[in-house]
Amino acid sequence: MNMTGKVMSLKPALMENHMQNRIDDLFREKDKNILSVYFTAGYPNLGDTATIIRLLEENGADLIEVGMPFSDPTADGPTIQASSDQALKNGMTLEILFEQLSDIRSHVKIPLVLMGYINPVLQYGVEKFCRQCSRTGIDGIILPDLPPDEFSLNYQEVFKANNLHNIYLITPQTPDSRILEIDRLSTGFIYMVSSSSTTGAGKKVSDFSREYFSRVKNLKLQHPQVIGFGISDRETFENACQYAHGAIIGSAFVKALQQPDPLEVIISRFVAGITGTEDREG
């Protein structure tokens, strides 16, 4: 990086040799109101991972972020911290996660993204991890503590070889010049962190900086943007979707999974609460 903080020396992600990726397909087919849902793998029970993915798709989620639990999730608020702790107590590991997902593409068609922290991926082996993702049918990776310079220097090639999109975050503090640089380095979509917070801070979108959203919109980025952090219900989802191609719900969904009802009931109720038309009509 140079003194202005731009990532100048890094090569842009090559756009040629473009293999098909479900994330690109999704954004080509749908350019607004994309609902992305995050949950922590292995939570509430170790064996729930594939079931939750299947139910989310059935109920209308467009994209799913599967959280890889980590002992020290410094970018996450209390809800996702607690779900990670519980998932680890349940025995979740990357090894087990790939086993649970080994058959997922026989019945799930929407894009799947793995989200977590770099250390477990390093211990698993980055190359082996990418190969496993590709074999499993994972389309993208979000590792907040893998910054653009480290990624470009060491991992860009292996991600590309396995047709995996690396999703970057931008925040209200990210300068325009860096947003443009991140857009250049990105593949898939850009994860727009809504406000200065860890996940699940629960501020309303109406309180968010509209200035930031409009600023990003005016940059006319080449990659679609999805807003995350603090999206918890229909109101915040719809608000966020006015400024971006879609929004990500994480903590609110993880919280919903704590309800005593069967997963079928919880997930159908939750997704309908965000996108369903019946409430509005009724």
Name the residue with tokens 């990357």.
94
Q: How far apart are CA 232 and CA 277, in angstroms?
A: 17
Alpha-carbon gap, residue 9 to 98, rounded angstroms: 35
**Phi and psi at residue 157, in whole multiples of 5°?**
-65, -45
Catalytic site residue 65? Answer: yes
9 lines the binding site for another protein (CB under 8 A): no
Q: Pick the stretch among 42-50, 87-95, 210-218, 240-248 that binds another protein (CB under 8 A).
A: 87-95
- DSSP code for 152: I
Site string for another protein, 191-230 (x = CB under 8 A): --x--xxx--x-----------------------------
Nearer to another protein, 71 or 258 (CB): 71
Q: Is 177 helix (H, G, I), strand (E, B) or coil?
A: helix
Q: Residue 34: helix, strand or coil by DSSP?
A: strand
Burial class (CB in 10 A: 0-12, 13-18, 19+), 215: middle
Where does this chain touch another protein (CB under 8 A) — which range of 86-94, 156-164, 219-227, 231-239?
Answer: 86-94
- 76, 139, 181, 183: the catalytic one is 76
CB of 83 to another protein, least distance (A): 13
Residue 81 binds another protein, judged by CB under 8 A: yes
Contact between 127 and another protein by CB under 8 A: the answer reads no
Q: Is 169 in the site for another protein (CB under 8 A)?
A: yes
- CA torsion angle 122 75 250 96 (round to 10): 20
Q: How far is CA 129 from CA 13, 163, 164, 196, 218, in A?
A: 20, 13, 11, 31, 36
Choose which of 34, 61, 146, 227 interacts with another protein (CB under 8 A): 146
Torsion sign, CA atoms 120, 125, 126, 131: negative
Count of residues touching another protein (by CB under 8 A) = 44
Interface of this chain with another protein, residues 59 to 78, rule: CB under 8 A: 70-77
Q: Kindly state the tokens that stand for 180.
A: 């443009």
CB 49 within 8 A of CB 97: yes
Could you identify the residue written with the tokens 């911290």? 81
Which residue in 46, 51, 120, 202 binds another protein (CB under 8 A)? 120
CA-nearest of 178, 22, 184, 36 to 108 is 22
Instruction: Check residue 55 for interaction with another protein (CB under 8 A).
Output: no
CB of 18 to another protein, least distance (A): 26
Catalytic annotation present for 149 = no
The catalytic residue among 48, 57, 62, 65 is 65
Q: Does 168 bind another protein (CB under 8 A)?
A: yes
| Residues catalogued as catalytic | 65, 76
Q: Which residues bind another protein (CB under 8 A)?
A: 1, 3, 5, 70-77, 81, 85, 88, 93-95, 117-124, 144-147, 149-150, 168-171, 173-175, 178, 193, 196-198, 201
